Amino acid sequence: MAEWLLVCHGLATLLVLVSFLCGQWPIFQGTFIHRIHFFITFGAYDYFRRFIHFVCGSRGSNALLSVEYYCCDRPNPIIQLLYLIIIGGTYYFIATSSFNYIPGYYLSGVHRYTSFLAVGVGILFFLLTSFSDPGVVNSANVSQYLSAYPYDNVIFSEKECSTCKIPKPARSKHCSICDRCVARFDHHCAWMNNCIGERNTRYFMAFILWHFLICIYGLIALALVLAGRMKELQVIHILTAYYGIENSFRKLAPFVVQWLLNAYNTQILIMVFLAVISLLLAGFFTYHAKLCLTNTTTNESFKWQEHLSWQRKVNEAKASAAALKASLGELSEERKPQESKWKRYFRRSHLEEVKVVKNNMYDRGFLHNIYEVVVPFSTRRSFSVTKSKSG
């Protein structure tokens, strides 16, 4: 019973943690995870703010506001530290709970070192994404970015950044948290305390993919540790020979699960954690890979949504205006041979013919799109040559 309580507790903690950290991701839109996220980040906080105001008055709420400003609206390393705590903590728990079983029956001793290496590479990708230049646009390089990214006059048209006072190249956005314009802006990532843009989308993608792979590696390694323990302790033999349990998967499984939850609950909890995180990362990676393959950024995908829904409305208005005009024409042309009533009835409505197309001029085939992410414009030779010439 106690083991099940522990597992439920672990799962609940995990759900809250996942909802808090990732609930705002587009893949969770409209799900209960999004609702929990809303409650934790907004609803509960609202009650807390009112409580502070009630207890400490306006001075208390002002202090809270400045903390909120620092944590949410300014660059700060809080969530970066959280990442390091999560990855360090998980590795620490795996090492203390399972390294004494490595080498084991199914796992060789080399995994003590390869696991350390895998986590090290993960942290390296984290540092690369966090501290690399996302492609900051300034007066020195703005002309290169303007020629690299032409305006499509659909979602991007000629504009000046009102804060930086420089022309805004297509696909760029002014990050309000970092207070700078970033080329091919994707989003501001709180985990990295950095914008994700033209120059570091590749590290960001590598980061997500690598962490997915680490989770899978950890899952398989822990499963092999537990399988090895079962083999070494002859669990199946003891269960069948001494407890007289029938040697079939269906009969043995409940006892084995109970034994695992009893003796190795830390490993089981870590495995559940890794499984959930790997699913999240797989979803997140798929979403971003789809964007990369179509040469769209997260920022642009929102712009496209807006543009397409607006276009749909315009087209619908046009179609209904045309339909009205046609029916007025029919009324005046009484002499014309009448269209059969049935035919008119079954004729498709004009509204059904409304079609909107996403004409993304930056999408030039997935090979080119991948190349653009891996080798950004500003790192190509011609860009740096012109940059040094102009500088």
Q: What are the residue numbers of the active site?
A: 189
* 338 binds Zn ion, rule: CB under 5 A: no
Residue 164 binds Zn ion, judged by CB under 5 A: yes
Decide if residue 177 touches Zn ion (CB under 5 A).
yes
Q: Do 36 and 16 contact (CB within 8 A), yes or no?
A: yes
Each residue 252-291 as x (binds Zn ion by CB under 5 A) or -, in order, gives: ----------------------------------------
| Closer CB to Zn ion, 37 or 188, in the complex | 188
CB atoms within 10 A of CB 297: 22
Does 79 contact Zn ion by CB under 5 A?
no
Nearer to Zn ion, 94 or 181 (CB): 181
Helix (H, G, I), strand (E, B) or coil at 195: strand
Q: Which is nearer to Zn ion, 22 or 175 (CB)?
A: 175
- Residue among 33, 148, 181, 219 that touches Zn ion (CB under 5 A): 181
Span of 6-14, 173-181, 237-245, 342-350 interacting with Zn ion by CB under 5 A: 173-181
Binding range to Zn ion, per CB under 5 A, among 103-111, 187-195, 214-222, 232-240: 187-195
User: Which of 25, 259 has the CB closer to Zn ion?
Assistant: 25
Told to check if 173 binds Zn ion by CB under 5 A, we report no
Candidates 183-191, 233-241, 253-261, 263-271: pick the segment binding Zn ion (CB under 5 A).
183-191
Q: Out of 102, 190, 195, 260, point to the residue binding Zn ion (CB under 5 A).
A: 195
In which residue are the tokens 């943690």 written?
17
Q: How far is the CB of 84 from Zn ion (least distance, A)?
A: 20
- Pick the binder of Zn ion from 49, 174, 231, 303 (CB under 5 A): 174
Q: Of how many residues is the chain composed?
A: 391
List of long-range contacts for 43-50, beta carbons under 8 Å, 24+ apart: none
Helix (H) or strand (E) holding 188: strand 187-189
Task: Number of residues interacting with Zn ion: please give it, by CB under 5 A.
Answer: 10
Give me the least distance between CB of 173 and Zn ion, in Å please.
8
Piece of 98-106, 157-165, 294-302, 332-340 that binds Zn ion (CB under 5 A)? 157-165
Sheet containing 136-137: order of strands:
136-137, 180-182, 173-175
State the residue for tokens 């230049």. 133
Supply the minimum distance, in Å, between the C-beta of residue 70 and Zn ion: 15
Q: Which stretch binds Zn ion (CB under 5 A): 3-11, 39-47, 166-174, 219-227?
A: 166-174
3-state secondary structure of 181: strand
Q: Measured between alpha carbons, how far is 99 from 222 in angstroms, rounded to an integer?
A: 10
Q: Which amino acid, 236?
A: I
| CB within 8 Å of 185: residues ≥ 6 apart | 134, 171, 172, 173, 175, 195, 196, 197, 297, 299
Give 316-322 contacts, CB < 8 A, sequence gap 24+.
316/351, 316/354, 319/350, 319/351, 319/353, 319/354, 320/350, 320/351, 322/350
CB of 117 to Zn ion, least distance (A): 31
Selected binder of Zn ion within 86, 121, 178, 263 (CB under 5 A): 178
175 binds Zn ion (CB under 5 A): yes
Cβ closer to Zn ion: 34 or 171? Answer: 171
Contact 149, 172 (CB under 8 A): yes
Could you write out the DSSP letters of every residue in 25-54? SGGGTTSHHHHHHHIIIIIHHHHHHHHHHH
- Given the complex with Zn ion, which of 200 and 278 has the nearer CB atom? 200
Closest distance to Zn ion from the beta carbon of 165 (Å): 8
User: 124 by DSSP, 3-state: which?
Assistant: helix
Give least dist CB 188 to Zn ion, A: 4
Q: Quick one: 357 exposed, middle or buried, by C-beta within 10 A (0-12, 13-18, 19+)?
A: exposed
Find, among 68, 38, 64, 69, the residue nearest to 50 by Cα: 64
In whole angstroms, how close is the CB of 225 to Zn ion at the nearest point? 41
**What's the min distance (Å) between Cβ of 369 and Zn ion?**
23
Query: Which region, judged by CB under 5 A, interacts with Zn ion, from 66-74, 96-104, 156-164, 242-250?
Result: 156-164
* Binding interface with Zn ion (CB under 5 A): 161, 163-164, 174-175, 177-178, 181, 188, 195
